[in-house]
Structure 1
Amino acid sequence: MEKPQIWLSFAPELHVFVAAGKRSGRSAVRTDGVSTLGHVVESLGVPLTEAGALLVDGRQVPPSHIPADGDEVSVLGVARPQPLAGPPRFLLDVHLGTLARRLRLLGVDAAYESVDIGDPALATRSAAEQRVLLSRDRGLLRRRELWAGAYVYSHRPPEQLRDVLSRFAPPLAPWTRCTACNGTLREAAKESLHERLEHGTERAYDAFAQCTECGQVYWRGAHHASLNAIVEESVREFGPHAARPAGGPSAP
């Protein structure tokens, strides 16, 4: 008995995941007659985290749908902004440290693993803490334990940041999180930081902020201008920001 044949087309933004022969228009795919549409889509290279609506003959179906012979299937990209239950919270894998720091700079809750703890542990943490796992590892994004996940399309941090902000539209509150540990910042009096500051820093600056979790101290140092440029560009494109503590996370 001949296996069912379906006709598949992918949204342009998903072409990065599929073989060249399946990037233009509709293409024929043989199925085994028992696998779900979600399994078929993933077997062709597209993580379900990146697939939006699945349409069969123009009708939306769940990933559990079993495709039948002759089905016309359209795989759309995710809607932007992508809705989530509550404000987005993220977990980034070991390769996305710069993106994690930039998200924290904007006040976005971004947990980050600075060492490779393995795919199962990352997926388990995503589920336990209800965090969106951000990664460029397609295999990791296929793990069933994930609470939610998203592929980071670019290698370049500025483009990565724009991608995440446009996809999830997290509320921005620049200068309110520690870029080192993701904790929250509070204003700190210079007198209380005497033992933590070098003499030159203490003499040159008056406004400081300190992390309530790890104790890291921040002030508007040499890198403030470049960090502020990131903040201003992001706020201009993706939304207003809250008032920042006087120090701002410029230089530890």
Structure 2
Amino acid sequence: MNGPEIHFSLAPELRLFAVPERRRERTSVRTDGASSLGHVVESLGVPLTEVGRLLVDGRQATVSHVPRAGEVVEVHAVVRPQRVPGAPLRFLLDVHLGTLARRLRLLGVDAAYESEDIGDAALAARSAEQRRVLLSRDRGLLRRREIWAGAYVYSDRPDEQLRDVLGRFAPDLAPWTRCTACNGRLRDTDKEQVGDRLEHGTRSTYDVFAECTECDRVYWRGAHHARLNTIVENAVSEFGGAAV
């Protein structure tokens, strides 16, 4: 481009999105003179979902600002915990985040997820229609203008992904209240009501059960409970809630 040159300072946590030569404390960019600040930031590789304050020559600016020659732009990361106004905090996860979805549900967090790849357009439309925060590691998906709100998941490891989301959004935790399979609500039930859905060994060994109000899946504290309980206790200890 042969337009005005502007100077960017990216927050340290945002530099990973930029190509290596632009990960310095300050980088200069020549624009076309007409593109908005938001467009220029995205051209550096930074999703706007990850951007907090924008300062131009020390003054607050919006993504619609058209940069002028010589301006110094500071791009800050979102402030944590991030508040999402206008709707109850609910999430939508892309097809690659199934383990994270199940762990959020384990903690009682509303986390919609499709095990099949329904495509970026459908995900973005669902985010807008249901007013859900779209979680993804796909920067292209997060750049779609129709999404209601979004967030980049920084790690590819489920333990770190969970801590990232809980630390960023501080959702209310209510462990053991959602179905990890379908996201429906769980309700307490007794052995007589669900006995025909249980194997003989389970029926004779366990007495406390819950079932999903949406898909009828039955839950009990079986062989995997200790591992799941560790996930719950660690999350509750660090981020609050009640480990019931």
Q: Do both share a fold (TM > 0.5)?
A: yes
Equivalent residue pairs, number: 243
Corresponding letter in the other structure for 2:181: A
What per-residue deviation string (whole Å, max 9, x for no partner) do you get for residues 84-124 of structure 1? 12442000000000000000000000000110000000000
In the aligned structure 1, how far is the partner of 2:63 from the partner of 2:239?
A: 31
Q: Which structure 1 residue ranges, 5 or more long, are not aligned?
A: 245-252
Q: Does residue 121 of the first structure (1) align with residue 122 of the second (2)?
A: yes
Contact 2:2 2:31 survives alignment (8 Å): no
In the aligned structure 1, how far is the partner of 2:224 from the partner of 2:141?
A: 34
Percent of pairs with identical residues = 70
Does 25-34 or 225-234 show the bigger shift?
Answer: 25-34
Corresponding letter in the other structure for 1:112: Y
Q: Does residue 135 of the first structure (1) align with residue 136 of the second (2)?
A: yes
Corresponding letter in the other structure for 1:205: Y
The secondary structure found in structure 2 opposite 1:15 is: helix
Give me the CA root mean square deviation: 1.2
Give the aligned partner of residue 36 of structure 2. Answer: 36
Give the aligned partner of residue 248 of structure 1. Answer: none
Contact 1:169 1:238 survives alignment (8 Å): yes
Q: Does residue 173 of the first structure (1) align with residue 174 of the second (2)?
A: yes
Does 104-113 or 15-24 show the bigger shift?
Answer: 15-24
The secondary structure found in structure 2 opposite 1:103 is: helix
Q: Which structure 2 residue ranges, 5 or more long, are not aligned?
A: none
1:153-172 maps to which residues of 2 (within 5 A)? 153-172=154-173
The TM-score, its normalising length taken from structure 2, stands at 0.97
Q: Does residue 58 of the first structure (1) align with residue 61 of the second (2)?
A: no
In the aligned structure 2, how far is the partner of 1:101 from the partner of 1:2?
A: 49
The secondary structure found in structure 1 opposite 2:121 is: helix
Q: How far apart are residue 28 of structure 1 and its match?
A: 1.1
Contact 1:87 1:171 survives alignment (8 Å): no
1:181-220 maps to which residues of 2 (within 5 A)? 181-220=182-221
Q: How far apart are residue 241 of structure 1 and its match?
A: 2.2
1:17-96 maps to which residues of 2 (within 5 A)? 17-85=17-85, 86-96=87-97
What per-residue deviation string (whole Å, max 9, x for no partner) do you get for residues 30-81 of structure 1? 0111000000000110010011111101111110000000100011001100
Contact 1:137 1:151 survives alignment (8 Å): yes
Corresponding letter in the other structure for 1:141: L
Give the aligned partner of residue 110 of structure 1. Answer: 111
Corresponding letter in the other structure for 1:129: Q
Contact 2:127 2:133 survives alignment (8 Å): yes
In the aligned structure 1, how far is the partner of 2:3 from the partner of 2:117?
A: 42
Contact 2:106 2:177 survives alignment (8 Å): yes
In the aligned structure 1, how far is the partner of 2:242 from the partner of 2:89?
A: 16
The TM-score, its normalising length taken from structure 1, stands at 0.94
The secondary structure found in structure 2 opposite 1:49 is: helix
Q: How far apart are residue 2 of structure 1 and its match?
A: 5.2
Corresponding letter in the other structure for 1:38: G
Contact 2:2 2:30 survives alignment (8 Å): no
